[in-house]
Every structure is written in structure tokens, then in C-alpha cells.
């Protein structure tokens, strides 16, 4: 297989299937865990993930997640429609 020229790439699109094994930890300013969630991908994650996929577009020059939308306090209050933070 020929080597690919990645010099023109500007975005890395990452799609990962979690199969109900997604873990999210919310940290305070000191890096201590204040809440955790295990199970489905949280509703505040970008794209139509159906609770099973993490889909993010990362700008290679900056490391910024391009499709991230700041979640509302309501969205953050429950990780999914049927679960709570631990």
C-alpha cells in the first residue's frame, strides 16, 4: 500500500463505538472527580450518536474540537435521558 501524504490534512474525524461502555468523569479545577457516568454516550456529546458513538472532529493545528457545542446546564444535569451522575 502506498504511503499517504497527510500534509494537506486539517481535521481528524474520530468515530468510536462505545457499545454502552462509555465512561465520563467530570473534574473540578484541581483535577478531582466530582461526578462520573458509565454506560451510554451522554446526550451532551456532539452528533447523532444514538448513545453508542463518540464522533468528534479535531482541528489538527489547534487541537480544538470543531463540532463541540457548549452544553446547557440542563443538558449537563443528566448524562442521558434515563440516567443520573454517580
Q: What is the pLDDT of residues 9-57, one digit of tens each?
A: 999 999 999 988 999 999 999 999 999 999 999 999 999 888 899 999 9
Indicate whether 81 pLDDT > 90: no
Give pLDDT, residue 39: 92
Give pLDDT, residue 82: 82
Residue 29: burial class (beta carbons within 10 Å; 0-12, 13-18, 19+): exposed
Indicate whether 75 pLDDT > 90: no
Question: Strand 22-27 vs strand 33-39: parallel, antiparallel, or unpaired?
Answer: antiparallel
Amino acid at each position: 500500500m502506498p504511503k499517504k501524504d497527510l500534509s494537506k490534512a486539517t481535521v481528524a474525524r474520530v468515530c468510536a463505538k462505545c457499545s454502552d461502555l462509555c465512561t465520563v468523569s467530570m473534574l473540578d479545577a484541581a483535577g478531582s472527580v466530582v461526578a462520573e457516568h458509565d454506560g451510554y454516550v451522554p446526550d451532551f456529546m456532539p452528533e447523532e450518536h444514538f448513545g453508542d458513538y463518540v464522533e468528534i472532529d479535531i482541528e489538527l493545528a489547534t487541537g480544538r474540537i470543531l463540532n463541540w457545542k457548549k452544553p446547557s446546564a440542563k443538558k449537563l444535569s443528566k448524562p442521558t435521558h434515563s440516567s443520573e451522575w454517580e
